[in-house]
Amino acid sequence: MCGIVGFTNKIKEADEVIGRMMDRIKHRGPDAYGKYVDDGVALGHRRLSIIDITSQGDQPIFNEDRSMVLVFNGEIYNYRDIRKELAAAGHTFATNTDSEVLIHGYEEYGAKLLGKLRGMFAFVIWDSKNKELFGARDFFGIKPMYYAVMGDTFMFGSEIKSFLEHPDFKKELNERALENYLTFQYSPTQETFFKNVYKLMPAHYFRYSSGELEVKRYWDITFEEDKSKSLKDWVDSISDTFRDSVTAHKIADVEVGSFLSSGVDSSTVAAVADVDKTFTVGFGTDEKYNEIGFAKEFSKAIGKDNYSKVISPEEYWGSLEKIQYHMDEPLADPSAVALYFVCNIASRKVKVALSGEGADEIFGGYNVYSDPGGTFYDRLPGFFKRGVGKLASKLPAKRGVNFFVRKGKTVEERFIGNAYMFTPKQRKELLKITTDAPDPMKITGHYYKRVKKADDVTKMQYLDLHLWLSGDILLKADKMSMANSLEVRVPFLDKKVMKLAQGIPTKYRVTRKEKTQQTKYITKYAMRLAAKKNTPKETEKTSEKKKLGFPVPIRVWLREDKYCAIVKKAFESQSSEKFFNTAVLEKLLEDHKAGKADNSRKIWTVFTFLVWYRVYFENNGKYCRAV
């Protein structure tokens, strides 16, 4: 795991600039560094040594005649198999790394190499003969890649903060991204919060030559039910395929550990991986916010050592500037801070940790996936539900009314992902600035169009796999782990696992079980049954637990005077006045503190942006104090 930076070389001080850019991301790779500079390009690399930990694995890496040079962030789990193919084709290797397989593989196969890879990656290859850059990002977006064109300079990197060191970089806030963020809680498009800086989206590659940039998708997810298999067949296949994935993800020349919560995903990873150490964090003693007790019991059951930490409110709030600095863009997911701390305790014991991200999106695990078609009301005619929904929308919002409003809409109209903070109308009322940010349905419609014939559960999963997963879940996983110089691997997010999951019938992803007078919904149904096969009997209730996520007591804290005052101060700041109608913010805060409404997530979304803005636009890309 590493960090990469680079730019087309149009400046005299290229060697010094690439050095400063590398220093900005030293946390991604403290073990070694390397750079390459010629009259066409400057490339930099920071290394966290995982495979071939000798100096042979240092980058940049060259092909035989040194006409091509590579910088790479990630791991290729099937590199040994590809290496054999390339050696048989006449390629000679100078190292035992997966990195070198990429450069020889590109020589041999071009962009078709990407279809052969199994792993997580973001890499760039400079072809000095043709004066062309080729770069690619992995299938799910586990590893980040950003790029920008500033004047005559094309620059790229693992983190946007490295761009701040380039003399051609012009730092401007992208206000369109702010408006989108207020709805999604993250930046959902290829645009970032920095104007003219873009994400290379998951499963895409680029070519840059003679001032022209070409970006293409090379892979996509295709859900197609295979009804020929029984439930038992699916359960056995999931178990076998996941075990194979975990074996691949454990390839390393250093010790591997595992994160552990009370959920089925991380428990399955920890049990199957058979690692020596597990890591857990929590808040206080309330079981709603603290899973440490379960984690210790589970670790004992599988014969492993658990390392844990209770995060104090002071530690949580005191880390917010540091978190948003490392995030590059504001992310209003409160669990990102908890993830930072679990990465921190893990990094003191291991260099690599396995985690359970991706299981919910792939196997249908989110509670919201049980919403479509789950009640008698859902089976009523669409025109009737739409009419009732329109009438209900005129009434004050409350639980029963909201049900009819929601059911009166199609899934395309009501679902933008696991977070929906401010509606388009609400964000217009909140913002002082005017932007041309697209409506949320325009952003999601691009993805819904690709699966228009699918059932609603599949549509929701497809959307989350393309937006929520990379925009929130994997963003925080990469940035929080790398902030602690820790590599996180996610064995559920594997091409072979995804290929299998694409065929699982919807009824085995989200199923309905009749129980007396109640209907019990079971998400991730087949995967939960597979988990029972792979975890000790005394902990099998793990597979039945309702999803909690990474619970953080934000709602409680924002009703305490101390933390409410911190947020109020931010809401009254000059930065807040610049962007927001602060009277609206103050009302949200007052109503929440008084217990009139739960506005915690809306408040946190705005507050997080203001913390991030202070770091990058008031403190010039530096965090310098507790909030």
Tens of pLDDT, residue by residue over 483-521, are: 999 999 999 999 999 999 999 999 999 987 765 445 577
Give pLDDT, residue 31: 86
Residues 320 and 340 in one domain: yes
Residue 180 has pLDDT above 80, yes or no: yes
Residue 375 has pLDDT above 80, yes or no: no
Q: Give me the mean pLDDT over the 602-621 stretch.
A: 95
pTM for the model = 0.93
Which of 173, 188, 217 is where one domain is finished?
217
Confidence band of 539 (pLDDT split at 50, 70, 90): low
As a whole-number percent, the residues of the chain with pLDDT over 70 amount to 93
Q: Give me the mean pLDDT over the 362-383 stretch.
A: 83
Asked, for residue 435, whether it belongs to a domain, the answer is: no
Rounded (5°) CA angle 47-53-57: 60
Residue 216 contacts by C-beta under 8 Å, 6 or more apart in sequence? 111, 204, 205, 206
Asked, for residue 620, whether it belongs to a domain, the answer is: yes
β-bridge pairing 277-282 and 305-310? parallel
Residue 148 has pLDDT above 60, yes or no: yes
Which amino acid type is present at position 543? S
408 and 555 Cβ atoms separated by less than 8 Å: no
More confident residue, 516 or 305: 305
Quickly tell me which residue has 């067949």 as its tokens.
Answer: 233
Residues 536 and 557 in one domain: no
As a whole-number percent, the residues of the chain with pLDDT over 90 amount to 78
Asked, for residue 55, whether it belongs to a domain, the answer is: yes
Which of 544, 562, 584 is where one domain is finished?
544
Give pLDDT, residue 406: 79
Residues 133 and 249 in one domain: no
Residues 138 and 274 in one domain: no
Residues 497 and 590 in one domain: no
Distance CA 621, CA 326 (A): 10
Which of 498, 525, 544 is where one domain is finished?
544
Residue 382 has pLDDT above 70, yes or no: yes
Residues 241 and 357 in one domain: yes
Give pLDDT, residue 516: 46
Residues 209 and 241 in one domain: no
Give pLDDT, residue 548: 53
Distance CA 369, CA 458 (A): 9
Q: Which long-range contacts (CB under 8 A, 24 or more apart) does 47-50 make?
A: 47/2, 48/1, 48/2, 48/351, 48/485, 48/487, 49/253, 49/254, 49/351, 50/1, 50/75, 50/252, 50/253, 50/254, 50/351, 50/352, 50/487
Asked, for residue 593, whether it belongs to a domain, the answer is: yes
Residue 76 has pLDDT above 80, yes or no: yes
CATH of the domain at 238: 3.40.50.620
For 426, left (φ over 0), alpha (ψ -120 to 50), or beta?
A: alpha
Give pLDDT, residue 626: 47
Per the structure, the complete domain to which residue 113 belongs is given by: 2-217
Lowest model confidence (mean pLDDT) among 130-134, 199-203, 389-393? 389-393
More confident residue, 625 or 214: 214
Distance CA 589, CA 558 (A): 8
Give pLDDT, residue 291: 82
Asked, for residue 390, whether it belongs to a domain, the answer is: no
Q: Give me the mean pLDDT over the 540-552 stretch.
A: 59
Residue 538 has pLDDT above 70, yes or no: no
Tokens read off for 128:
């000095």
Residues 514 and 621 in one domain: no
Residues 196 and 241 in one domain: no
What are 4-37's pLDDT values in tens digits?
Answer: 999 998 888 999 999 999 999 999 998 888 999 9
Catalytic residue, chosen from 2, 343, 564, 624, is: 2
Is there a catalytic annotation at residue 624?
no
Give pLDDT, residue 408: 82
| Number of folded domains that form the chain | 3
Residues 271 and 348 in one domain: yes
Residue 625 has pLDDT above 60, yes or no: no
Residues 496 and 607 in one domain: no
Lowest model confidence (mean pLDDT) among 206-220, 362-376, 503-517? 503-517
121 and 72 Cβ atoms separated by less than 8 Å: yes
Burial class (CB in 10 A: 0-12, 13-18, 19+), 449: exposed
Q: Give me the mean pLDDT over the 286-306 stretch.
A: 84
Give pLDDT, residue 356: 96
Confidence band of 618 (pLDDT split at 50, 70, 90): very high
Q: Phi then psi for 391, rounded to 5 degrees?
A: -65, -45
Distance CA 53, CA 155 (A): 28
Residues 562 and 523 in one domain: no
Asked, for residue 85, whether it belongs to a domain, the answer is: yes
CATH of the domain at 101: 3.60.20.10
Asked, for residue 355, whether it belongs to a domain, the answer is: yes
Give pLDDT, residue 200: 98
Q: Give me the mean pLDDT over the 236-255 stretch.
A: 92
Asked, for residue 29, whether it belongs to a domain, the answer is: yes
362 and 241 Cβ atoms separated by less than 8 Å: no
Q: How many helices (H) and strands (E) does the chain have?
A: 27, 19
Of 218, 247, 139, nearest in space to 493 by CA = 139
Confidence band of 286 (pLDDT split at 50, 70, 90): low
